[in-house]
Chain A
Amino acid sequence: MSFDSLWFLLKSALNNLYRNLLLTVASVTVLTICLTLLGCTSMVIQNVNAFVDEIGESRIAVFLDENMTELDIARFRNELTEIGNVGDIHYETKEQALANYLESIGSGTGMEDALDADTFRASLIFEIIDLSKYDQTLYEIRKMDGVGDIQERRDVVDKIQQVKQALFFLSVLVIFLFFIVSVFIIMNSVKLSVYARRLEINIMKYVGATDFFIQLPYFIEGMIIGLIAGIVSFFVQFYVYNAVLYPLLAELFTPISFLSQLSFWVPFFAIGGSLIGIIGSVYPVKKYLKV
C-alpha cells in the first residue's frame, strides 16, 4: 500500500471522527467509563487476591527424624528445594521450638521447668508457593527419607483455593461483560458513521476497492476511539485508585501500588482499547460490503 493510500485512509478516518464529533465524544466518554470500571474492578480483585494470600495459612512444617545429623538435614533441605514450589526454608532446632512454644504460652505457667528441648523435634518450615499444586508437592515431600511428620492446614488451603477460584471467575465475568459492552459502544458509533457514508462505500465497491481497503478507515476510526478512551481511562483509574480505592483498602491491608503495575496497565489500556475499537468496527462495515 502506497503512502498516498495510507494518508487517504487516515484522513478518511479522522474526517469520520470529526464529522460525527458529538458521537465520537460520547463514545469515548462511555468507553472510558467502561474501561475505568473494568480496571478498578480488576484492581480490587487483585488486591483481594493478594490479601487472601497474605492471610492464608499455606505454611508447612516438616518434622525430621531424630537421628538425622546436621549433614543429613542440609542434604534434606537441598532435596526439598529441588522439588520446587516451596518458599524460603527456615530450619527450626529443638531449642528454638521449645523457646517459641514457651513464648506462645506466656511466662508463669511453670512449663519452663517441666519441658526440655528433647520434647520437641527439629523441623523445616516453609510456604507452598502455588497452592493449586499443594497436594502434588506434599506427596513429593512425604516420599522423602527422613520425614518424621508433617504439619499442614489443608482445610485452610482448600478454602483459600475456593476463594481464589471464585475471584478468578468473577474477574473473567467482569472482563467479559465490560468487553461486550465496550464492543457494542464502538459498534454503534461505527454503525452510524458507516450509515452516513454508505454512498461512498457503495461507490468504492463499484469502482473496485477491496473490502479490506473499504474497512480500514473504520478500523482506524474504532481504534482511535478505543485508544483515546484507553489513555483517558489510564489517568482516570490512576486518580480513582490512588485517591479513593487505595485509602479504603489500606484500612484492611497493604494494597498493591498502581505504579508497581504500570507494565500491565499501560498495555492493557492501550492494546485493550484499540482491540475493542477494531473488533467493534468489523460487523457494521461488513453489512454494506455485499455489493
Chain B
Amino acid sequence: MIQLINVSKRYEKTGTVALRKVNLTIKDGEFVFIIGNSGAGKSTMVHMLTCEDVPSRGDVIVDGFNTRRLTRRQIPKYRRRIGIVFQDFKLIPNYTVYDNIAFTLRVVGRRRREIARRVERAMELVGLTEKADVYPDQLSGGEQQRVAVARAIVNNPSLIIADEPTGNVDPSLSVEIMKMLLRINQMGITVVVVTHEQHLVDQMNQRVVRIEKGRVVSDTSDEETEAEE
C-alpha cells in the first residue's frame, strides 16, 4: 500500500512549493493515473515515491517503508521493490535487449541461471523474445519502451511507477503500452502511471488522480465512493 500523508514539498533553493498537503492512498494491486499539467507536481510525487527526494513535511509510506526514515543503506533495498519506467526509456545503447533487462538483476547480485529464467519470462510478457540480441537503436520507440517495461518488472517488484511512459512513443502505440501496463497490473502489481495525456487516460477506465499546483484536486476513487453512498 502507498500512503501520502499531508505531504508538502518546498525546494529551498528556488522557494518553489511543488506539493501542498497531499493526502493519497493507493491500495495494493491498484492501477492509478496521476495526471496534471506541466509543473503541477507530478514529477515531485514520483521523486517522493522513488526516494530521490523526501518530503519537507508529511510522510510517504510504501509497503511499510517510511521514505523519510530510510537510511542510505536501506534505499537500494527499498528500490528493489519498485520498477520504474522512464519517458526517455533510459536503455543502455551498447547493451542488447537481453542485457538491458538482465542489467537490473546483475547489479543486485542475482545468479546467472536465475537471471536467464527471469529475463526470458519478462521478454515473453512484453513480446520481445525474438529481439533478445538486438540493440536499442534498432528498435522502434514503442519497442524500446517495452524493453524498459520488461526491465522494470524483471525483479518482481510490488510497484511499477511509469513516468510519462508514452511521452516519446508514437501516439498510435501509446494505447498498446498502456494495455501492457494493465496486463502487468492484472498480475497483482500496483501500477502508478504519471501522465499529462488526458485522452489516453479516458480510454483506460481506471482510477485517476488529478494534481494542480501541488494539490490533489480530484480523485475518481472518491467520486465512486460518494456515488456508492
Contact = CB atoms under 8 A, between A and B. Distances in A.
Interface of A: 1-2, 4-5, 8, 199-200, 202-211, 213-214, 291
B109 A213 contact: yes
Nearest to B50: A206
B111 A2 contact: yes
Contacts, number: 58
11 contacts: A2-B111, A4-B109, A202-B90, A203-B92, A204-B107, A206-B79, A206-B90, A207-B103, A207-B104, A209-B76, A211-B72
What are the 10 A-B residue pairs with the smallest beta carbon separation, nearest first?
A208-B80, A208-B79, A209-B107, A208-B76, A207-B104, A5-B109, A210-B76, A4-B112, A204-B107, A8-B106
B54 to A, nearest CB: 13
A2 B110 CA distance: 8
Given A2-B109, A207-B108, 17 more contacts: A2-B111, A4-B112, A4-B115, A8-B107, A200-B92, A203-B90, A203-B104, A206-B50, A207-B103, A207-B107, A208-B77, A208-B108, A209-B107, A210-B73, A210-B76, A211-B72, A291-B52
Q: Which bucket holds chain B's interface residue count?
A: 20 to 34
Contact of A199 (B90, B106, B151): B90
A210 B73 CA distance: 7
Contacts of B111: 2, 4
Contact of B92 (A1, A199, A209, A210): A199
Given A4-B112, A213-B109, A291-B52, A207 B92 contact: no
B50 A213 contact: no
B78 A208 contact: yes
A2 B111 CA distance: 7
A5 B114 CA distance: 13
Contacts of A200: 92, 103
B84 interface: yes
Best-surrounded residue of B72, B106, B108 (most CB of chain A within 10 A)? B106
A205 B104 CA distance: 10
B44 interface: no
A206 to B, nearest CB: 5
Nearest to B52: A291
Contacts of B110: 4
Contacts of B52: 291
Nearest to B79: A208
Contacts of A210: 73, 76
Best-surrounded residue of B50, B76, B80, B112 (most CB of chain A within 10 A)? B76
Contact of A207 (B72, B112, B155): B155
A192 B161 CA distance: 31
Nearest to B161: A206
Contacts of B76: 208-211
B27 to A, nearest CB: 23
Contacts of B112: 4
Contacts of A211: 72, 76
Contact of B103 (A2, A203, A291): A203
